[in-house]
Amino acid sequence: MERTRLAVDVESGDFGCRVTIRGVLDALHTSESPPHIMLCGDQATIEQILSEEAEAARPFRDHLAIVHCPDRVTPHERRRIWVWRHRRNSSIIRCITLQKEGKVDASVSAGDTAILMSAALFILGRRKGAPRPALGAFLPTMQKKPVLLLDVGANLKCRKEHLIAFAFMGLEHVGLMYNKKFPSVALLNVGREKIKGFASIRDADKVLRRKCPGYIGFIEGNQVLSGEADVVVCDGFAGNTLLKTCESIHLLIASVLEREKPELLGEVRRYTAVLDPENYGAVPFLGIKGIVLKAHGGSSPRSIASAVLAADRAVRRNASG
């Protein structure tokens, strides 16, 4: 396969362009087949940082291109979902536009979720059968395989048809990413009995039992990380809460050990690396015509590198939304 082509929004994230570019360079050094990356942002700033990171960048200069983006998206944009119309030359919008133009295969941004989602939806378009795009996240499990949790924040309230669509989107995505014919799918609920939960969840369960191959019924929050299901479906409020709780586990372990048993910290970190959210880097938008990954706003270079590698892997496995 030819080199994949990725667009990276270097203006996004809480720590600025330098952190994002360092993450990109780390990804290139790690990859066995480094992708071609278009760095979207202010050209002068990017050139300055690449000059300062010359030693790390030198082996990959032919893998890097700069796309100058003069527009800026501020945190105070009043109509965030319409930014894609009014800030077309901003880095976050340019990444998506490059996909539409066929110049890249996927894009990565740590920018505002609502802006990125609306840009992906209106520029790339919605996939057939997806009433709403969803944001998915892979979590580690006890069985040494990941579970895809969706939605994790794009849709705080969901109707029956949304949950059903998410189940099929997750089924397809996990099947492509991990070469599984019929991944197991479950609905997150407060109990496993059919009478439990909101009407939307109970109604979705009835349909999925008839139509979704691999559907195993309800699953409770304490079973999500068991590995029983390959895909767990829920509304964005529950999913985002669960995701952020899971992300805090690694930090809690490190904090307790640093205070109580600092001599064990390094060894335990090695054994619990699978729990570290920075090793996952970014989460995919599902239900759109393209591969768009959303990195955490507080991403470190390691997290950005993981996001870039995840995008490269998704392209190679043809795992579009």
Record the tokens describing residue 219, joined without a space.
């699953």
Of all residues in the chain, what percent carry a pLDDT higher than 70? 92
169 and 243 belong to one structural domain: yes
Q: Is the pLDDT of residue 51 over 90?
A: yes
pLDDT-derived band at 155, boundaries 50, 70, 90: confident
More confident residue, 53 or 2: 53
Give pLDDT, residue 18. 95
188 and 229 belong to one structural domain: yes
146 and 267 belong to one structural domain: yes
State mean pLDDT over 101-106.
Answer: 96
The count of domains in the chain is 2
Domain that residue 46 falls in: 1-125+288-321
State mean pLDDT over 100-104.
Answer: 96
Give pLDDT, residue 284. 87
**Domain boundary pick from 261, 279, 297:** 279
150 and 235 belong to one structural domain: yes
Record the tokens describing residue 201, joined without a space.
């969840």
Close Cβ partners of 200 (under 8 Å, ≥ 6 residues apart): 158, 159, 160, 163
More confident residue, 226 or 144: 226
144 and 268 belong to one structural domain: yes
Give pLDDT, residue 25. 96
pTM, entire model:
0.85
244 and 153 belong to one structural domain: yes
105 and 231 belong to one structural domain: no
Reference 200, options 218, 213, 221; nearest CA is 218
Summarised one tens digit per residue, pLDDT across range 223-251 is: 999 999 999 999 999 999 998 888 788 77
Record the tokens describing residue 291, joined without a space.
């591969």
69 and 162 belong to one structural domain: no
299 and 275 belong to one structural domain: no
Helix (H, G, I), strand (E, B) or coil at 9: strand
Q: Tokens 């043809």 identify what position?
A: 318
The CATH number assigned to the domain holding 136 equals: 3.40.718.10
96 and 149 belong to one structural domain: no
Give pLDDT, residue 153. 87
Measured from the Cβ of residue 1, the count of other Cβ atoms closer than 10 Å reads 6
Q: Is the pLDDT of residue 47 over 70?
A: yes
pLDDT-derived band at 112, boundaries 50, 70, 90: confident
- Categorise residue 295: left if φ over 0, alpha if ψ from -120 to 50, beta otherwise: beta
Summarised one tens digit per residue, pLDDT across range 259-270 is: 888 887 777 767
pLDDT-derived band at 167, boundaries 50, 70, 90: very high
227 and 272 belong to one structural domain: yes
Summarised one tens digit per residue, pLDDT across range 255-306 is: 887 888 888 777 776 766 656 656 666 888 999 999 999 998 888 899 999 9
State mean pLDDT over 170-183.
Answer: 89
The burial class, CB within 10 Å (0-12 / 13-18 / 19+), for 2 is: exposed
Give pLDDT, residue 296. 85
State mean pLDDT over 23-33.
Answer: 93
State mean pLDDT over 166-190.
Answer: 92
Give pLDDT, residue 128. 83
State mean pLDDT over 93-98.
Answer: 95
| Contact (CB, 8 A) for 136 and 184 | no
Give pLDDT, residue 20. 95
| Contact (CB, 8 A) for 97 and 91 | no
272 and 181 belong to one structural domain: yes
Give pLDDT, residue 39. 97
State mean pLDDT over 157-183.
Answer: 91
Q: Where are the beta strands (DSSP E) in the chain?
A: 5-9, 36-41, 64-68, 106-109, 134-139, 147-150, 185-188, 215-219, 231-233, 282-286, 291-295
